[in-house]
Amino acid sequence: MADFLDLIVFVILMVVGYTAGRMAERRHYRSILAREQELGGVMVFSNRFPPLSGVRGQALVAGSVVISEDYFKRVVSGIQSIFGGRLRSYESLLDRARREAVLRMKEEARGKGSRMIVNVKFQTFSIPGRNPRSYGAVEVMAYGTALTQA
Amino acid sequence: MLISNLEIIPGSRIVKHLGLVQGSTVRSKHVGKDIMAGLKNIVGGELKGYTDLLKEARQEATDRMVQQAKGIGANAVLNVRFSTSSITQGAAEMLAYGTAVVLE
C-alpha cells in the first residue's frame, strides 16, 4: 500500500513537473526573445580591450540569475545519464540562464546610459542543496564593463 | 573609486600599481527560502530568493575589496574578477579580486 502511494506521488510530481516546467520554460523563452529585441541597441563584446578613443565613462555592470530545474527534468536527466550523451533538458536550462543574465546586465548598462559592454565574462555555479539529491539549481552571472561614448 | 574589469582605462594613465586586493563573503541560505526553493525544484523556474542572495553577496564582496583598496591608497581597482565556490552544503562564498592602482 505504501509503495502504491509512493508511486502515485511520483506520478503526480512527474506530471506537475512536466506541465509547469514546460509552461515556465516557454514563458521564459518568450520573455527572453522580446527583451532581446528591445535591448538590441546595447552591444556586447568579449574583447579585453576597449576602443581607445571616444570613450567618456565606464562602469562595472553585472547580471545574475538562479534557475531551478523541474522534477521531470531531474528524473529524465537521471535516466539519460546512465547512457551518457546529450542532456537536452539541462542544455536549455543553461541557455535560458545565460541569456537572462546577459539581458539583466544589458538592462543595467542601459540604465547607466551605455550602449556598449566590453570584456564580458561568464561565471556558472551550481548551488548545492542540503540533501545531495536536491541538486538542480544553476546560477549564471555575466559581468563586463559598460562604456559610455563621448 | 573606479572599479572595472578592464586592464586599461581609456584616456587615463596608471601612475602606480599597488597589487592585488580582494574581498569575500560567505552566505548561507535562509530556511524559509530553502523551503520555497524546494517547492520550486518541482515546478522549475527562477529562484528569486537566491538571485537576490547572490546579488547581495556580490555587492558585499565588492564593497570589501573597495575598502581594502582605499586602505592602501588606491583610487581605482582594475581587472576585477568574481569567483564563487561552495564551502559546505547550503553555503556559498563570493570572492571579488582585482588590481589596485593609482590613476592620474
- Cβ distance B84 to A123 less than 8 Å, yes or no, reads yes
Contact B44 A58 (CB under 8 A): no
pLDDT in tens, A108-120: 999 999 999 999 9
Percent share of chain A, pLDDT over 90: 38
Please report, for the domain that includes residue B70, its CATH number.
Answer: 3.30.110.70
Q: Tell me how many domains chain B contains.
A: 1
CA dist., res. A17 & res. A4, Å (int): 20
> What is the pLDDT at residue A21?
85
Run of H or E residues at A127? strand A116-127
pLDDT at residue B81, as a whole number:
93
**How much of chain B exceeds pLDDT 90, in percent?**
44
Residue A64 belongs to what H/E stretch?
strand A55-70
Contacts with A123 (C-beta within 8 Å, 6 or more apart), sequence order: A140, A141, A142, A143, B82, B83, B84
In a domain, B94, yes or no: yes
Q: Is residue B37 included in any domain, yes or no?
A: no
Asked if residue B27 lies in contact with residue B92, where contact means CB atoms within 8 angstroms, the answer is: yes
Structural domain including A48 reads 2-149
In a domain, B9, yes or no: yes
pLDDT band with cut points at 50, 70 and 90 for residue A121:
very high
Residue B41 in any domain: the answer is no
**Domain CATH code at residue A98:** 3.30.110.70
Question: Residue B90: pLDDT band by 50, 70, 90 thresholds?
Answer: low
Residues of chain A numbered 70-129 and touching chain B (CB < 8 Å): 70-71, 73-74, 100, 118-119, 121, 123, 125-129
Report pLDDT digits (tens) over B30-81: 666 667 777 777 778 888 888 888 888 899 999 999 999 999 999 999 999 9
Domain count within chain A: 1
Q: Which of B3, B10, B55 sits opposite A50 (nearest CB)?
A: B10
Task: Quote ipTM for the complex.
Answer: 0.84
- Pairing between strand A43-44 and B44-46? unpaired
Kindly tell me if the per-residue pLDDT of A19 is higher than 80. yes
CB contacts under 8 A, A 14-73 vs B, are 16-17, 20-21, 24-25, 28, 48-53, 55, 58-60, 62, 64-71, 73
B→A contacts (Cβ < 8 Å), by residue, are 2-11, 34, 37-38, 40-47, 50-51, 54-55, 58, 80-84, 86, 89-90, 92
Percentage of residues in chain A having pLDDT higher than 70:
93
Asked whether residue B91 is domain-assigned, the answer is yes
- Domain range for residue B14? 2-28+57-103
Residue B18: inside a domain: yes
Would you give the DSSP letter of residue A65?
E
- Test A49 with B3 for CB contact under 8 angstroms: no
- Whether A131 has a pLDDT exceeding 70, the answer reads no
Reply yes or no on whether the pLDDT at A135 is more than 70. Answer: no
Helical ranges in chain A per DSSP H: 2-38, 71-83, 88-111
